[in-house]
């Protein structure tokens, strides 16, 4: 379970200080798929990055499975590689690596043997329907295929939580629905929590619940879910 | 983690292939730098070796003399000479590293062809000394001095070898007779006639105008003395000089000599060698520094471009939990690989040039103060190549480290949105 209490985040924009998150609190259960929704500038990406430990400079408490998030950058990196997975809007695959090597990367970071890396990577690529594309480089894959590889990469090391930032924004509607289904199915199958920042109402509808943010605060309607 | 190395190395190699032209250019710059340094250094090594051998063969690897012989002038010829030359020679010849021991008498006087006289600088030597000089004596006409033990040597016709310009000045040729006039060790004047056996060049115009060689026995007779100026110890290998010097010193201390002796290794008499080496060392040092700077700037530029282009990728890797040091290490490996390939190509080019210069005769102009040019050669030194390669690898790693370090310091969220 992920809990966050009074999370506040300030940005400096020139001479001004912008309060991107104004003491947001909430709770996300294990295996739950939650959408962070809101207009641009509402703070959903900031909250997502903070919950994904990509932003360290915040105030408040965040705990995953009862353990507080680390504050030290090196410990945070270790935390990300072991407990978190990431899916990005523009897929962010490593262009020089094949699909299975991209998927195997988190396993490499976690010290798996080369044989295990390849085995597990190919297994999960099979699950996302890309077994035959395992040796393809990202530039030989379509956008939907790349995002499926990215989902496989996010899940291969069985993290506790996957952070997905606009995962369908670069995809057409059909591909987007395939990706949404895949995330939901695999998330539930593996018991992995998904937090998805999205503008896409189809995506939000597919999630177990949504958290709406406006001006750095969780709106009242969403609060009933969050608390 | 050991099994992960192949993938990480493969990624390094693949990353270099992303922009092949840029990688190729970097390799080329490194190769040119290594080629220039190893070739110039190889030329320097060849020059050092040649000058070292030339000096050692001219003066002997170790010179035995009276203490202070080279610092003080003699009022009378052989005043500071060695009296125990035979005893010393016999004692030292037992060492198998010693090729020979040659006595020398250095003196001066007047030389005349009957109608014209001029000053000479004479060296009384054994005929065997010319064998030890090898290719470092350029005999232009005639031959070197005959062996006095040979049946063909006629004591009634003492021989002399003249410097090429001295012979020209006196208008004498091989077979002509000249008269040498010198002061004896007692202060009297003495003169003998000598037959010109050969004409040679030292390569130094000032010496060619004045220098001559004659048998040591003739010099002793002319100077009315049985002393010699110095004993030159010639070794089979120049690198053994220091060890043999220690042995000679110990051996001579055990002899009951009439006078104290001093040992001077060839380095202390190799003024030209020392000055050339000093000059070349500085030139190559500056050249090396310039090359290092060029390589650094080129590689820093390459790696900075690479880091900038891959900013979003760095952000992704960081988000996935890669430590900054691991990301920097990837760039360092790429740079190291470029340096390694460049150094190998540079070394190969240098080796090819060495072989080419063995086949093709390229003549260098005469150095200042000398009359003859010399063939351009370079020594291919693995040691030098290793030093140059290690140098460029360190420079490239430094360049990569500096540029990558800047890249990984960018906040992850900023790096992820970099376009």
Q: Is B3's pLDDT higher than 60?
A: no
**CB–CB of B209/B60 below 8 Å?**
no
- Cβ neighbour number for residue A209 with a 10 Å cutoff: 15
For A128-172, how does the pLDDT look when each residue is reduced to its tens digit (9 = 90+)?
Answer: 999 999 999 999 999 999 999 999 999 999 999 999 999 988 888
Average pLDDT over residues B86-111: 91
**Average pLDDT in chain B:** 88
Contacts of A109 in chain B (CB under 8 A): 320-322
- Count CB neighbours of B324 within 10 A: 18
Cα(B314)–Cα(B322) distance, rounded to whole angstroms?
9
Task: Express the helix, strand and coil content of chain B in percent, nearest 5 each.
Answer: 55, 20, 25
pLDDT higher than 80, residue A221: no
pLDDT (tens digit, 9 = 90+) per residue, B250-264? 998 888 888 888 999
Residue A217's nearest CA partner among A1, A2, A6 is: A6
Tell me how far apart the alpha carbons of residues A107 and A116 are, in angstroms, rounded to a whole number: 8
Which of B17, B320, B413 comes nearest A55 by C-beta?
B413
The predicted pLDDT at position B5 comes to 54
Determine the pLDDT at residue B1. 40
Q: Is the pLDDT of residue A177 over 90?
A: no
Min Cα distance A110 → chain B (Å) is 9
Which chain B residues are closer than 8 Å to A92 by Cβ?
Answer: 312-313, 315-316, 416
Q: Is A6 left (phi over 0), alpha (psi -120 to 50) or beta?
A: left
Q: What confidence score (pLDDT) does residue B2 get? A: 40
**Contact at CB, A77 and B18, closer than 8 angstroms:** no
A218, pLDDT greater than 80: yes
| Beta carbons of A86 and B320 less than 8 Å apart | yes
Q: How far is CA B202 from CA B123, B139, B234, B375, in A?
A: 13, 9, 19, 17
pLDDT recorded at residue A132: 95
Average pLDDT (B345-374) is 87
pLDDT greater than 90 at residue A194: yes
Tens-place pLDDT, residues A90-133: 999 999 999 999 999 999 999 998 889 999 999 999 999 999 99
Using one digit for the tens of pLDDT, what is the confidence trace for A70-91?
989 999 999 999 999 999 999 9
Strand duo A33-37 + A209-214: pairing: parallel
- What local confidence, expressed as pLDDT, does residue A225 receive? 45
Q: Is the ipTM of this complex over 0.85?
A: yes
C-alpha distance from B293 to closest chain A C-alpha (Å)? 31
What does B319-375 look like in DSSP terms, one character per residue? HTT--HHHHHHHHHHHHHHHHHHHHHHHHHHHHHHHHHHHHS--EEPPPTT-S--EE
Tell me the pLDDT band of A224, cut-offs 50, 70 and 90. very low
Chain B hits for A160, CB-CB cut-off 8 Å, are none
Is there a contact between A114 and B15 if contact means CB atoms under 8 Å apart?
Answer: no
Please judge whether A117 and B321 are an interchain contact, meaning their C-beta atoms are less than 8 angstroms apart: no
Question: Count of CB contacts below 8 A, A vs B?
Answer: 71
Of B11, B312, B319, the CB nearest to A97: B11
Res. A63: pLDDT tops 60: yes
pLDDT of B51 reads 81
What gap in Å lies between CA B114 and CA B97, rounded to an integer? 46
Q: Looking at chain A, which residue has its C-alpha nearest residue B310?
A: A94
* Cβ-contact B413, A52 below 8 angstroms: no
Q: State the nearest Cα–Cα gap between A153 and chain B, in angstroms.
A: 9
Say if the Cβ atoms of A81 and B322 lie within 8 Å.
yes
Residue of A nearest to B1 (CA): A111
**Closest chain B residue by Cα to residue A55:** B413
What separation, in Å, do the N-terminal and C-terminal C-alpha atoms of chain A show? 13
The answer to whether the CB atoms of B413 and A54 lie below 8 A apart is yes
Q: Position of tokens 């992850």?
A: B412
Read off the pLDDT of residues B270-290 as tens digits, 9 standing for 90 and up.
887 888 888 888 998 998 899
d(CA A11, CA A33) in angstroms, rounded, equals: 28
What pLDDT score was predicted for residue A227?
Answer: 39
Q: What distance in Å separates the CA atoms of residue B21 and residue B57, rounded to the nearest whole number? A: 52
pLDDT in the model for residue B136: 63
Residue A135 CB-density burial (10 A; 0-12 exposed, 13-18 middle, 19+ buried): exposed
For residue B237, is pLDDT > 80?
yes
- Cβ contact (<8 Å) for A109 and B316? no
* CA max distance for chain A: 53
Region B39-54: mean pLDDT is 86
**Mean pLDDT lowest for which of A139-153, A184-198, B2-16, B321-335?**
B2-16
Q: Which residues pair with B108 in a beta bridge?
A: B121
Contact B37, B240 (CB under 8 A): no
The CA-atom distances, in angstroms, between B82 and each of B62, B72, B130 are 15, 15, 22
Per-residue pLDDT tens for B91-102?
A: 898 899 998 898
Coil/strand/helix, residue B146: coil
Q: What is the pLDDT of residue B6?
A: 62
Mean pLDDT of the region A41-53: 91
Which residues of chain B are at the A interface, by a Cβ-Cβ cutoff of 8 Å?
1, 3-4, 6-8, 11, 14-15, 17-18, 312-313, 315-324, 412-413, 416
What would the two tokens of residue B138 be? 């350029």
Residue A196 contacts by C-beta under 8 Å, 6 or more apart in sequence? A33, A34, A35, A36, A164, A165, A167, A183, A203, A207
C-alpha closest to that of A128 among A77, A189, A76 = A189
User: B124 vs A166, B160, B171, B176, B415, CA distance in Å?
Assistant: 98, 9, 23, 19, 83
Residue carrying the six token digits 């085995």: A119
* Contact criterion met (CB < 8 Å) for B3 and A115: yes
- Closest partner residue to A108 among B4, B315, B319, by Cβ? B4
Tell me what pLDDT residue B120 has. Answer: 95
Helix (H, G, I), strand (E, B) or coil at B210: coil
Choose among A34, A80, A59: nearest CA to A187.
A34
| Mean pLDDT across A173-184 | 88
What is the pLDDT at residue B353?
Answer: 95
Alpha helix (H) residue ranges in B155-270? 164-170, 205-208, 216-223, 241-253, 266-269
B322 chain-A contacts, CB cut-off 8 A: 77, 81, 109
- In which order are the strands placed within the sheet that holds A2-13? A16-28, A2-13, A59-64, A67-68
* Residues B119 and B262: beta-carbon distance below 8 Å: no
Percent of chain B with pLDDT over 70: 97
Closest CA to A56 of A42, A70, A36: A70
Q: Whole-angstrom Cα distance, residue B320 to residue A162? A: 11
pLDDT of residue B112: 94
* pTM, two decimal places: 0.75
Dihedral sign for Cα B135, B141, B143, B145, please: negative
CA angle B394, B309, A88 (to 5 degrees): 120
CB pair distance less than 8 Å for B321 and A79: yes
pLDDT value for B259: 84
Pair B292, B391: CB distance under 8 Å: yes
Pure H helices in A18-72: 44-51
């Amino acid at each position: 379970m992920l809990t966050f209490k009074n999370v506040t985040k300030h940005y400096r924009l020139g001479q001004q200080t912008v309060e991107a998150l104004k003491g947001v609190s909430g709770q996300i259960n294990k295996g739950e798929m939650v959408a962070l929704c809101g207009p641009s500038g509402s703070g959903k990406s900031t909250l997502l990055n903070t919950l994904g430990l990509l932003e360290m400079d915040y105030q408040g408490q965040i705990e995953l499975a009862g353990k507080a998030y680390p504050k030290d950058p090196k410990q945070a990196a270790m935390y990300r590689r072991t407990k978190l997975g990431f899916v990005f809007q523009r897929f962010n695959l490593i262009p020089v690596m094949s699909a299975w090597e991209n998927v195997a990367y988190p396993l490499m970071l976690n010290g798996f043997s080369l044989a295990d890396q390849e085995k597990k990577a190919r297994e999960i690529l099979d699950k996302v329907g890309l077994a035959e594309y395992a040796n393809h480089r990202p530039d030989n894959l379509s956008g939907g295929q790349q995002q499926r590889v990215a989902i496989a990469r996010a899940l291969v090391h069985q993290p506790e939580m996957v952070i997905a930032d606009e995962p369908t924004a670069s995809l057409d509607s059909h591909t987007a629905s395939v990706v949404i289904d895949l995330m939901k199915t695999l998330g539930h199958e593996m018991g992995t929590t998904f937090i998805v920042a999205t503008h896409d109402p189809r995506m939000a509808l597919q999630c177990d619940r949504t958290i709406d943010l406006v001006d750095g605060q969780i709106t009242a309607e969403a609060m009933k879910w969050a608390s | 983690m050991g099994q992960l190395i192949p993938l990480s190395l493969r990624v390094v190699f693949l990353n270099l292939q992303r922009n092949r032209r840029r990688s190729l250019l970097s390799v080329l710059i490194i190769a040119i730098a290594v080629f220039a340094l190893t070739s110039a250094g190889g030329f320097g090594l060849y020059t050092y070796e040649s000058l070292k051998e030339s000096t050692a063969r001219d003066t002997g690897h170790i010179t035995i003399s009276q203490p202070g012989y080279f610092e003080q002038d003699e009022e009378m010829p052989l005043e500071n000479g060695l009296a125990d030359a035979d005893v010393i020679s016999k004692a030292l010849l037992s060492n198998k590293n010693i090729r020979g021991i040659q006595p020398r008498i250095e003196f001066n006087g007047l030389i005349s062809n009957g109608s014209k006289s001029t000053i000479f600088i004479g060296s009384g030597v054994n005929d065997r000394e010319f064998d030890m000089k090898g290719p470092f004596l350029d005999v232009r006409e005639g031959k070197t001095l005959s062996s006095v033990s040979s049946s063909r040597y006629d004591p009634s016709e003492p021989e002399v070898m003249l410097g090429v310009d001295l012979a020209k000045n006196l208008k004498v040729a091989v077979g002509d007779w000249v008269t040498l006039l010198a002061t004896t060790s007692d202060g009297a004047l003495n003169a003998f006639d000598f037959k010109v056996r050969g004409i040679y060049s030292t390569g130094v115009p000032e010496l060619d105008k004045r220098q001559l060689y004659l048998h040591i026995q003739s010099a002793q007779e002319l100077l009315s003395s049985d002393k010699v100026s110095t004993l030159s110890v010639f070794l089979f290998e120049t690198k053994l000089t220091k060890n043999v010097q220690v042995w000679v010193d110990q051996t001579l201390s055990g002899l009951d000599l009439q006078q104290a002796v001093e040992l001077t290794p060839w380095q202390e008499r190799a003024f030209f060698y020392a000055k050339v080496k000093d000059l070349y060392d500085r030139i190559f040092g500056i050249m090396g520094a310039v090359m290092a700077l060029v390589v650094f700037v080129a590689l820093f530029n390459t790696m900075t471009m690479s880091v900038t282009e891959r900013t979003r990728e760095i952000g992704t890797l960081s988000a996935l939990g890669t430590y900054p040091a691991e990301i920097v290490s990837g760039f360092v490996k790429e740079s190291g690989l470029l340096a390694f390939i460049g150094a190998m190509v540079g070394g190969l080019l240098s080796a090819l040039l060495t072989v080419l210069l063995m086949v093709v005769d390229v003549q260098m102009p005469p150095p200042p103060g000398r009359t003859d040019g010399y063939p351009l050669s370079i020594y291919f030194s693995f040691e030098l190549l290793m030093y140059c390669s290690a140098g460029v690898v360190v420079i490239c790693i430094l360049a990569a480290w500096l540029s990558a370090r800047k890249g990984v310091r960018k906040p992850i969220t900023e790096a992820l949105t970099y376009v």
